Amino acid sequence: MPPFSVLDLAFIPEGQTAADALRNSVDLARHAEKWGYRRFWLAEHHNMTGIASAATAVVIGHVAAHTSTIRVGAGGVMLPNHSPLVIAEQFGTLETLFPGRIDLGLGRAPGTDQRTLRALRRDPSAADNFPQDVLELQALLGPVAEGQVIQAVPGHDTNVPLWILGSSLYGAQLAAALGLPYAFASHFAPAALHEAIALYRERFKPSAQLDRPHVMVAVNVIAADTDAEAKRLFTTPQQQFVNLIRGVRGKMRPPIDDIESYWQPHEKAHVSAMLACSAVGAPDTVRARLQAIVDSTQADELIIAAAIHDHKARLRSYEIAAELAGR
């Protein structure tokens, strides 16, 4: 198995608060560090009542301050929502505080709806400048050039590792052209997974940061001591994605006994396609599924998402995955 990392959205379960979610994130990060996970990433989402990681850089700093060795980063920051200078300052500060432990994954999508995008005071066309913004950010985090007037302080010459995130061929081509590692969001949009990583590897150009392609594949892992228990826990993300289709927002729902009574046939088909890159079950079931994903993608790294309502059950799921990686 390749190295495993953690993708945490700081979900807010029903009956809990954002403060509870952030405490759970810190607790998960501490356990992940102990269990040997390579990275702990958080993601930027706005106006989501069930996600507490909107101020992503702040949460990254909080998690990094409560851990000591695991890499902590963004998976990712939605760069069109920000000026490259501000992100360089934020992540340059994080790297200055926690040297050698900060990652910066960059996404092109807004991570929210169009009305919220306007509330962020961003032009929807800002995404068109994504490649130029990545290059500008990279320069701001690199050595100061002769005559350079604008500097990120802290930030310049911290050389925070950049990643390109994506779920389409666009991100794959950009990551390849810039010689950056590529993380594919197959945990919710797996359709173009194999085509995108093949294109990325084929067109990859070595860079100062990376001399050969590096692919991270995101996968949902819902592991428990029995298949039946894991399938029941999996009804939480299934409900989440049904509600996404329905345009219903809310906190993370507890599992239910009968998912068939919750969704309509067309919703089941849509959600099942979105969650196709998932490993759900007891340890042996999960191991076989993860091995199949690794064999088909030749992933250099897996990043694991686990939308599980009960924090103890979520910890147990990540513990099982870590044990499988150790084998």
CA distances to 79, 90, 133, 152, 309 from 85, rounded to whole Å, are: 11, 9, 9, 6, 37
By the 8 A CB rule, do 12 and 52 touch? yes
Tell me what pLDDT residue 128 has: 80
Q: Which residues face 6 on adjacent strands?
A: 40, 304
- pTM of the predicted protein model: 0.95
C-alpha separations of 306 from 176, 272, 319 in Å: 29, 16, 12
pLDDT, position 117? 66
Task: Note the pLDDT of residue 175.
Answer: 98
Q: Please give the pLDDT value at position 275.
A: 98
How many CB atoms within 10 Å of residue 99? Answer: 9
CA 137 – CA 288 distance, rounded (Å) = 40
Comparing C-alpha atoms, which of 132, 136, 173, 169 is closest to residue 155? 136
Asked if residues 166 and 140 have their Cβ atoms less than 8 Å apart, the reply is no
Q: Cβ atoms within 10 A of the Cβ of 172, count? A: 26
Question: Cα–Cα distances in Å, from 313 out to 51, 99, 222, 290, 317?
Answer: 19, 32, 9, 19, 6
Which residues have C-beta within 8 Å of that of residue 159, sequence separation ≥ 6?
141, 142, 209
Q: How many CB atoms lie within 10 A of CB 167?
A: 23
pLDDT tens for 203-248 read 999 999 999 999 999 999 999 999 999 999 999 999 999 999 999 9
6: enclosing H helix or E strand: strand 4-8
Alpha-carbon distance 274 to 108, whole Å?
19
User: How many helices and strands, by DSSP H and E, does the chain display?
Assistant: 11, 9
Q: How far apart (Å, rounded) are the C-alpha atoms in residues 187 and 276?
A: 8
Please report, as a single letter, which amino acid is at residue 160.
V
* 8 A C-beta contact, residue 245 and residue 6: no
Low-confidence ranges of the chain (pLDDT < 70): 110-114, 116-118, 120-126, 327
